[in-house]
Structure 1
């Protein structure tokens, strides 16, 4: 009985690595989302366009945040310079 309990309580290195990777991915996702929200709100877009981007970021958190940095941010600053 003692040996079974000992084996059950020992952590396998693979489990720690997998857990660490999952936490790293969740943290990266959260930072991408928060960074996108801060960037959207600080952009020179009008209030209505900011609202559209924020709603898109909340409805599709990963895709919305990623598209903001790929497409939206550049377009927002190009429109101001034009």
Structure 2
């Protein structure tokens, strides 16, 4: 009886370790994706066709609100930058 209880306890501990490792892996993956998004946004901002002041504003916004700033850059700022670049080349 005691051996059965010990085996059940060991099995439960193994399942907790597997879940813990899975959760740690998921957290590491999310942090890596977050870092790639942030660094990608900074590189994209600095190489954009915006003026120096506008680049500075986007970089400050990206540092103050890293996830939101990076996300908004790719949703709004980058498109605006590409439209500006197209408009200046057409002239």
CA distance in structure 2 between the partners assigned to 1:31 and 1:80 by the alignment = 25
5+ residue gaps, structure 1, are: none
5+ residue gaps, structure 2, are: 1-5
TM-score (norm 1): 0.86
Q: Choose 1 or 2 for highest CA Rg.
A: 2
**What is the total number of aligned residue pairs between the two structures?**
76
Between Structure 1 and Structure 2, the one with more helix by share is 2
TM-score (norm 2): 0.77
Which aligned segments of 4 or more residues in structure 1 are displaced greater than 4 angstroms?
A: none
C-alpha RMSD of the superposition: 1.6
* Residue 22, structure 1, aligned to residue 27, structure 2: yes
What are the within-5 Å matches in structure 2 for residues 1-82 of structure 1? 12-82=17-87
